Amino acid sequence: MALNCHAKKVVAVFKIQHLSSLPKSGFFILSGGSNVILPEQLDATVIMPRLMGMQVLEENQDTVIIEVGAGENWHDLVVSCTQKGWYGLENLVMIPGLVGAAPVQNIGAYGVSLQEVLVGVKAYRLSTAKHYYIKNAQCQFGYRSSIFKQAKELLITSVLLRLHKNSQKVCADYADLQPLLADKPISPLAVMQAVSNVRRQKLPNPDELPNCGSFFQNPLIDKKSFETLKQTHQAPHYVVDNNTVKVPAAWLIDRAGLKGGGVAPILTHKSHALVLTNHAPHLATQKNIKLSQDFIIKMVKDAFGIVLVREPVWVFEDGSCECLSQSVQEVCLP
Ligand code: NAP
């Protein structure tokens, strides 16, 4: 969000051997910084994992298992794998940030989420100086959530992914992708290009207009109580399971009259209401963001009886942070 932040000390880690020299407490682990909201003063040692490299662990004619360092750029990894004919990541192109952050919120886009390709995660617990291998099933993956959201003392060092080589196997269902794929043979490369184009059209470039992507999670709503809302609003929704539907947060914000709105200088983006943008880079503070966030939450709650939950990580002065996970909620119209 381009907020000014003064940290006590910053340490970048380039080698596994350097992990043992890191502090055991009083730290804050910062990956690419694209999904965090920082305070003006950070009284903690900021640790930046910059462990690089990619190696093939196993390969056959159908699949390949790769291990990728936490410091690699996520988008570059997606492009390079897709170009190599290793598929499964193409829908996740242009998600900002580094590989090590991807499992934390189980990044997902256009019908694919990381948990579908992740084999496991290698991590280091700073407090005990121990290395761990955490298998997919142990990561407690959910919709934009994982065990890593709570286990903040774990520094992810690398991520293992299983990719496939079948160019016919793609996920191209999302409505936004359809017009871009209409006249072409569908392939992972075509899907990657379509997703890139949609993202370029819809999302502001953080280098030009500071933002941290989607600011709110798409709410999960109890299906029965959603019927109440449907009586008065034609809200779009997607079935998650027998009891739950997912409602686009962008639609709720837009219909609450807040597209381009909020509390200045933190305003929702004119072409995508889910993205909060900072119109006073390096001047706005966490306080400004909180004012705008709370205003949007209140307006949406008053209009639809749905409580939006913030997606980015909120960092406090002592380096502790708040990662919110949502649970299925009922519509509570006033
Ligand atoms: P969008 O495509 O306008 O979709 C809005 C909401 O509708 C999302 O909750 C999306 O589900 C859902 N949706 C749309 N088409 C669907 C379908 N065919 N089946 C099931 N659900 C459907 O969303 P957007 O804000 O422009 O973002 C585009 C994509 O990037 C979305 O998939 C979004 O989740 C993803 N994204 C992810 C992150 C992250 O990982 N933190 C951040 C920003 C955006 P899903 O959320 O399940 O896709």
pLDDT of residue 88: 98
pLDDT digits (tens, 9 = 90+) for 277-329: 999 988 999 999 999 999 999 999 999 999 999 999 999 999 999 988 889 99
Which range is least confidently modeled, 4-8, 77-81, 250-254, 256-260? 4-8
- Assess whether pLDDT exceeds 90 at residue 152: no
pLDDT of residue 1: 73
pLDDT digits (tens, 9 = 90+) for 282-295: 899 999 999 999 99
CA distance 315 to 322: 6
Q: Would you say the pTM of this structure is higher than 0.75?
A: yes
Cα–ligand 1 centroid distance for 290 (angstroms) = 24
Q: Mind giving me the DSSP string for 79-110? A: HHHHHHT-BS-GGGTT--SBGGGTTTTT-EET
Ligand 1 pocket residue status of 183, Cβ below 6 Å: no
Ligand 1 pocket residue status of 108, Cβ below 6 Å: yes
- Assess whether pLDDT exceeds 90 at residue 334: no
Ligand 1 pocket residue status of 314, Cβ below 6 Å: no
Nearest-atom number in ligand 1 for the CA of 110 is 32
pLDDT digits (tens, 9 = 90+) for 29-71: 999 888 999 999 999 999 999 999 999 999 999 999 999 999 9
Phi, then psi, of 223 in degrees rounded to 5? -60, -40
Ligand 1 pocket residue status of 250, Cβ below 6 Å: yes
pLDDT digits (tens, 9 = 90+) for 105-133: 999 999 999 999 999 999 999 999 999 99
Residue nearest to atom 39 of ligand 1 (CA): 107
Q: Are 212 and 37 in contact (CB under 8 A)?
A: yes
pLDDT of residue 326: 87
pLDDT of residue 143: 87
**Residue range 207-222: average pLDDT?**
93
Cα–ligand 1 centroid distance for 178 (angstroms) = 14
Cα–ligand 1 centroid distance for 73 (angstroms) = 22
Q: Dig out the tokens for 331 from the structure.
A: 């519509």
Cα–ligand 1 centroid distance for 275 (angstroms) = 13
DSSP 55: E
Task: Please write down the HEC assignment for all residues of 111-144.
Answer: CEEHHHCEEEEEEEECCCCEEEEEEHHHCCCECC
- Assess whether pLDDT exceeds 90 at residue 5: no
pLDDT of residue 153: 86
List 144, 162, 199, 310, catalytic entry: 144
pLDDT of residue 8: 86
pLDDT of residue 206: 87
Ligand 1 pocket residue status of 107, Cβ below 6 Å: yes
Residue 151's pLDDT band, with cuts at 50, 70 and 90, is confident
pLDDT of residue 325: 84
Is 116 a known active-site residue? no
